[in-house]
Amino acid sequence: MTVQTEQTKQTEQQHFERTIGHEQRIEPRDWMPDGYRRTLVRQIAQHAHSEIIGMQPEGTWLASAPSLRRKAILVAKVQDEAGHGIYLYSAAETLGVDRQDLTEQLIDRRQKYSSIFNYPTLSYADVGTIGWLVDGAAICNQVPLCRSSYGPYARAMIRVCKEESFHQRQGFELLMTMMTGTDEQRAMVQESVDRWWWPSLMMFGPPDDASPNSAQSMAWGIKRHSNDELRQRFVDMSVPQAEVLGVTLPDPELAWNEERGHYDFGEPDWDELSRVIRGEGACNDERVARRTQAHEDGEWVRAAAAAYAQKQAHPVVEERTA
Ligand code: BYC
């Protein structure tokens, strides 16, 4: 390496570190270390895939929604998730990767998506519980990402979070409606909360001492809080909400700790999280198969869009005779 290129590299590195140190944003044209770029592509792609795969568990209930009102709400919510996926794939593309390639990596299982979407939705109460707990966990995790050091990711997260917040309220409202209904409806809600509580806690990732990426991601300002900090925040937020709803959270160790100023809670089953991440959850095969099918079914739409774009870029000028 010549002296000049070595100096340029040092200046760029210093500029990057100063920008991070001053809590300013890194933008697509700025120099960034390869590891920073790789980490962002990994996290943003995984996040985008989660939004798209996340349409499936609730989508199952679109045809069986109990009323037109509930169906309209659910259609809107599932469409919002598609929009989130698109913002996030666009943010990833500013890092020089291609959405088509990311989708293929998801389908080939080279890239991950959130563990939470590998659990089945067995009753309509699950639509409410996903809104309340899964979107609630998503908000805890994603609000700090609005301050992520990479500009396009942080900006995409602002809109995503506004919509997730609405999703959480609709889930809570649905559960509240069921809780003021019949005994059977209340039992459905409780059974659903029993199934989704622990997987929701696992969404935050492995415990801090088993999270290989956290320290570097936090030093780079990509993540703002550790997995355990956010999990605690979620528990503290959810317990009073469960009381308002009148449901019991399925954890006998859940108790207010005056000294810490937080709720104590039991240990999630980390082996289960590892199994689900490895692809051995109840619905991993089904989710990826459905995504693969949708990708193949969409081939003609992509081909038509590409042909149209080509035509717009090089319009054929028709010669007029007369
Ligand atoms: N599921 O070092 P760690 C939504 C992986 S969408 C699967 O702690 P990191 C919604 C992790 O990738 C929700 N994999 O990693 C949508 C890593 O593997 P690799 C999605 C997980 O990145 C529709 C390894 O385990 N949200 O809310 O520092 C409807 C070690 O972990 C999981 C996001 O994607 C998991 N739960 O922290 C409703 C938010 N946890 O990649 C709702 C953005 C960990 O090294 N992402 N792994 O092979 C993040 O905040 C972080 O990536 C995580 C993990 C906290 C998830």
**Which pLDDT score is estimated for 45?**
98
Distance CA(287)–CA(126), nearest Å, equals 17
Mutate to test the pocket of ligand 1, among 41, 84, 114, 204 (most ligand atoms within 8 A of CB): 114
What is the number of the ligand 1 atom nearest to the C-alpha of 137? 27
Q: Is 118 exposed, middle or buried (0-12, 13-18, 19+ CB in 10 A)?
A: buried
Confidence category of residue 3, pLDDT binned at 50, 70, 90: low
* 23 vs 49: CA distance, rounded Å: 28
Does any domain span residue 2?
Answer: no
Indicate whether 319 belongs to any domain: no
Residue 103 lies in a domain: yes
What pLDDT digit, counting tens, does each position of 114-161 carry? Answer: 999 999 999 999 999 999 999 999 999 999 999 999 999 999 999 999
What's the mean pLDDT when you consider all of the chain?
Answer: 96
In a domain, 112, yes or no: yes
In order of 95, 305, 310, the CA distances from 315 in angstroms are 31, 15, 8
Token pair listed for 31: 């120099």
In the chain, the percentage of residues whose pLDDT exceeds 70 is 97
What is the mean pLDDT of the segment spanning 238-253?
A: 98
Q: Using alpha carbons, select from 200, 179, 198, 201 the residue that is nearest to residue 188.
A: 179
- The CATH number linked to 125 is 1.20.1260.10
Q: Is residue 295 part of a domain?
A: no
199: nearest Cα among 283, 79, 124: 283
This prediction's pTM:
0.95
Looking at ligand 1, which atom is closest to the CA of residue 43?
52
CA of 115 to the centre of ligand 1 (A): 8
254 is a domain residue:
yes
Residue 322 has pLDDT above 80, yes or no: no
Distance CA 243, CA 249 (A): 9
164 contacts 133 by C-beta, under 8 angstroms? no
Question: 221 with 151: CB under 8 angstroms?
Answer: no
Question: Does 296 fall in a domain?
Answer: no
Residue 6 is predicted with a pLDDT of 83
**Is there a domain that residue 63 lies in?**
yes
The sign one gets for the Cα dihedral 271, 273, 279, 282 is: positive
Q: How many domains does the chain have?
A: 1
Provide mean pLDDT across the span 95-108. Answer: 97
Token pair of 272 as six digits? 């289960």
Instruction: Calculate what percentage of the chain has a pLDDT beyond 90.
Output: 94
Q: Specify the pLDDT at position 2.
A: 66
| Residue 9 confidence (pLDDT) | 85
Nearest-CA residue for atom 33 of ligand 1:
47
Count of Cβ atoms closer than 10 Å to residue 35 Cβ: 10
* Full domain range(s) for residue 116: 9-267+277-290
Model pLDDT, residue 287: 98
Q: How far is the CA of 65 from the CAs of 70, 175, 287, in angstroms? A: 6, 14, 21
| Residue 53 Cα: closest atom of ligand 1 | 23
DSSP string covering 195-217: HHHHHHHHTT-S-GGG-TTHHHH
The owner of tokens 């992509």 is 302
